[in-house]
Amino acid sequence: RTGNATTEQVRLHSLVQQLPRAIIIGVRKGGTRALLEMLNLHPAVVKASQEIHFFDNEQNYARGMDWYRGKMPFSFPHQITIEKSPAYFITEEVPERIFKMNSSIKLLVIVREPTTRAVSDYTQVLEGKERKNKTYHRFEKLALDAGTCEVNTKYKAVRTSIYTKHLERWLEFFPVEQFHIVDGDRLISDPLPELQLVERFLQLPPRISRYNLYFNATRGFYCLRFNIVFSKCLAGSKGRIHPDVDPSVVTKLQKFFHPFNQKFYQITGRTFAWP
């Protein structure tokens, strides 16, 4: 497998650490890990395994571009390096910083139905609190303003799901053609067609096939088959069971997101069947 070159391989083939030519900039809980791992099935794609948080973290950014490059895996010159750090999408300073590194970089954004994404985001935070034996508010309490009962746009899980607001900031630096929107709900239910669209966007020859993806009924998700000996599913923290949410709150959120979604479809040219 690529991305795990031994010292000997590095020496023999003069492998290099390359800056990413594509970045999965978000969205948190959209399926960013699944997308990165699945793209890595392609022989011409290598991935930075960890989230690097270079452009959104002041301390990391101050370490400079050589530090960033040093976080990248060794690869052959024809391969493309991809990293994912979902915080990039919502962090104000990031578009300009990435633009300064490479103004023609390809940007991948994976989205899910906004209310589902918000609940998934909540569920991740809730799990973190429970691990520390802390109690946490119900989703309904966080998502609605206590006084007015309107949607609470100060709540981060709500704000992150207003995709168009964030994308519009990115469009001040990059043309819309440099973005590719991935349907995170379809990446769950039928990943191959979504991956084929990404292959095309990245101008890679189509190499990911049905063979590489198999549905694991126990896990309830698609898992990855690299070759005859190596398969893997994502970690158990991917694909959590969400708590039940009051249906009237779900409807309220869906109505709230609706106009923003319309704008997002209009800008990206990709329409989703979101309520």
Q: Which residue in 240, 254, 265, 267 binds ligand A3P (CB under 6 A)?
A: 240
Kindly write out the interface string for residues 183-212 of this chain, putting x where it contacts ligand A3P by CB under 6 A and - elsewhere: ----xx------------------------
Q: Is 128 annotated as a binding residue?
A: no
Q: Is 115 in the site for ligand A3P (CB under 6 A)?
A: no
Terminal C-alpha separation, the chain: 41
Kindly write out the interface string for residues 50-79 of this chain, putting x where it contacts ligand A3P by CB under 6 A and - elsewhere: ------------------------------
In the bound complex, what is the minimum distance in angstroms from residue 163's beta carbon to ligand A3P? 14
Q: Which residue in 20, 30, 95, 114 binds ligand A3P (CB under 6 A)?
A: 30
Q: Residues with catalytic annotation?
A: 29
Q: Which residue in 32, 40, 85, 161 binds ligand A3P (CB under 6 A)?
A: 32
Specify the residue, 5 or 160, whose C-beta has the smaller distance to ligand A3P: 160
Q: Is 114 in the site for ligand A3P (CB under 6 A)?
A: no
Q: The dihedral of CA 103, 22, 97, 100: what is its sign?
A: negative
Q: Is 239 annotated as a binding residue?
A: yes
Q: Which residue in 3, 43, 239, 275 binds ligand A3P (CB under 6 A)?
A: 239
Q: Is 241 annotated as a binding residue?
A: yes
- Which of 197, 3, 238 has the alpha carbon at shortest distance from 106? 197
In the bound complex, what is the minimum distance in angstroms from residue 129's beta carbon to ligand A3P? 16
Pairing of strands 16-17, 179-183: unpaired
In the bound complex, what is the minimum distance in angstroms from residue 114's beta carbon to ligand A3P? 13
Q: Is 120 annotated as a binding residue?
A: yes
Pairing of strands 179-183, 106-111: parallel
Q: Which residue in 173, 221, 260, 265 binds ligand A3P (CB under 6 A)?
A: 221
Q: Is 30 annotated as a binding residue?
A: yes
* Beta-carbon-side half-sphere exposure of residue 189 (alpha carbons within 13 Å): 6
Amino acid in the structure at residue 172: E
Q: Is 234 in the site for ligand A3P (CB under 6 A)?
A: yes
Question: Which residues lie near ligand A3P (CB under 6 A)?
Answer: 28-34, 86, 120, 187-188, 221-222, 234, 238-240
Q: Detail the residues annotated as belonging to a binding site for 3'-phosphoadenylyl sulfate.
A: 29-33, 112, 120, 222, 238-242
